[in-house]
Amino acid sequence: MSTAIFPGSFDPITNGHLKTLERASKLFDKIYFVVLTNTQKKYLFDQSERVTLAKVCLRYLDNVEVVSRTASLTVDVAHELKADFILRGLRNEQDFSYERAIAALNKTQDPTLETVFMLADPTESYISSSMIKEIAIFGGNLKELVPQEVAQALQQKLLD
């Protein structure tokens, strides 16, 4: 059985993440969508909110399970979940350069763990969680960028 992890902060989850998972769900038997929390970062949504949003948005993908972890090595998360692959989405050349370096570092920790890169759909290669938050702050249209549940959660969060 092929098992992958798709780790990230997902603050918030975007349509780009969903499209990557839809495509990857056809390649792997099981994918763990791992919502990570890095104690060095500030988040708009706390970990439980990010997990809840991910579960709502990913409920239609039967072989994707949402889990959460706090600061730890990605390799350790893969071992814990018995995954053989780390799934990473790439939007552009900068993502590739960064992710290639991370994949090489992961190989120093476990030479058997493979990183699989999936190119973003060109129509969504510009979407990032950071940009989504900025658009939301200024009241922009999020319809094509995030699921409806995420757009509503962003609006509510920004009203608080």
CA distances from 145 to 31, 108, 138 (A): 23, 36, 15
**Pairwise CA distance, residues 150 & 157, whole Å:** 10
Q: Select from 3.40.980.10, 1.10.3720.10, 3.30.70.1140, 3.40.50.620 the CATH code of 3-125.
A: 3.40.50.620
Q: Catalytic: 41? A: yes
Catalytic residue, candidates 41, 59, 79, 82: 41
Catalytic one of 25, 50, 69, 129: 129
Task: Decide: 20 and 95 in contact? Cβ < 8 Å.
Answer: no
Looking at every residue in the chain, the average pLDDT score rounds to 94
Question: Does the annotation count 17 as an active-site position?
Answer: yes
Binding residues: 9-10, 17, 41, 74, 88-91, 99, 124-130
> Which residues are CB-contacts of 39 (< 8 A; sequence separation ≥ 6)?
70, 71
pLDDT digits (tens, 9 = 90+) for 112-124: 999 999 999 888 8
pLDDT 10s digits, 124-149: 888 899 999 999 999 999 999 999 99
Strand order in the sheet with 85-90: 64-70, 30-37, 3-8, 85-90, 114-119
